[in-house]
Amino acid sequence: MKKVILFTLSCLLLACLAAPAAGAKADFEMVAVYGTPTVDGVISEGEYAQECTYVMDATSASAWVGEVGASSVTWHFAWDEGGLYYAGTINDTTPSYRGEDGFWVGIDCLELAVNPGHKIPKNKTNEGIFFSFGATKEGKIVAWRHNYLDGLVSGQIQGAATGHQKGSDSYTIEVYIPWELVRMDTDCTIGGKTDLHIDTTAFVPENGAVLGVLPCAIDADENDQILAAYKFNGTDFIVKDFVNLTLSGKPEQTTEENSTEEITTQAPLTEKTEVVTEDMTEQGGCGAVIGMGALALLLCAVFVLEKKD
CB 124 within 8 A of CB 144: no
pLDDT in single tens digits along all 309 residues of the chain: 444 443 333 433 333 333 333 334 567 899 999 999 999 999 999 999 988 899 999 999 999 999 998 889 999 999 999 999 999 998 887 777 777 766 656 678 899 999 999 988 876 667 788 899 988 888 899 998 877 666 889 999 999 999 876 667 888 999 999 999 988 776 666 555 555 667 788 899 999 999 999 999 998 887 878 889 999 999 998 888 999 999 999 755 433 434 444 333 333 433 444 443 334 333 333 333 334 344 443 343 434 344 445
Q: Distance between CA 248 and CA 81 in Å, rounded?
A: 12
Instruction: Return the amino acid letter for 159.
Output: G
φ and ψ at 189, to 5 degrees? Answer: -115, 155
> DSSP assignment of 3-62, as one string?
HHHHHHHHHHHHHHHHSPPTT------EEEEE-----SS---TTTS-GGGEEEESTTTEE
* Angstrom distances, CA of residue 255 to CA of 250, 258, 261, 264: 16, 5, 10, 16
Residues 6+ positions from 170 with CB-CB distance below 8 Å: 89, 90, 91, 92, 163
- Is the whole-model pTM more than 0.75? no
